[in-house]
Amino acid sequence: MLKIYLVVGTKIFSRKCSLKKTTKFKHLSAQERTAKIIQLLILLIPILVSYVTNFGLKIPLPGCPLLSYLGIPCPGWVLTRSFQAIARGNISKAINFHLFGPVLFIIFLTLVFHLIQEIIRNKDLSNTYIRIIKNSNYQILFLLVLFSYHGTRLQSLGQTGELGQSFLNSPIIQWISTANWSVLMDN
């Protein structure tokens, strides 16, 4: 034991500090272990798809539903291409596709390795990076930055006229413009 003294004005405060590591890790229950395995598989999907598609395997991936129906790209627009560029080792092209592609790829890889360690050791491990990733303040900040970036991308598409044209030609707008409104208005 180490005793630390803190002098504030005329008062002396003491505190006993232990130098040994007192962190205890909780063993995973069967349900927690299953949840960790499912999380691992979900995180592995985009990483594995990125590498597998670079070998010429064609995987029919669903497109962005927002883009398909409204003509407006979602915040994850071209993130798959960014991940594929990272898998090929072309970081500059990955950043060109999506600024947050490399960041998300690193976060995914970090979480994958962390989950593998937890599953192998059968313990719930907590590190600084996990506390940061799970911190709701950081998550909100990341989402705000992501949506700000997405807003600038939409603005550039809007300035070229591409966004407006895509929106006007979208299936939902076409359906609304061709709908028989007299049926809805008759009483």
**pLDDT score recorded for residue 63:** 78
Q: pLDDT tier at 11 (50, 70, 90 boundaries)? A: low
pLDDT in tens, 100-155: 999 999 999 999 999 999 999 999 888 888 888 888 999 999 999 999 999 999 99
Domain borders along the chain are: 29-126
- Total-model pTM: 0.71
Distance CA 83, CA 115 (A): 20
**Phi and psi at residue 127, in whole multiples of 5°?**
-120, 170
Give yes or no for a contact between 44 and 119, defined as CB atoms under 8 angstroms apart. no
Distance CA 75, CA 85 (A): 18
Beta pairing class for 2-8 and 26-27:
unpaired
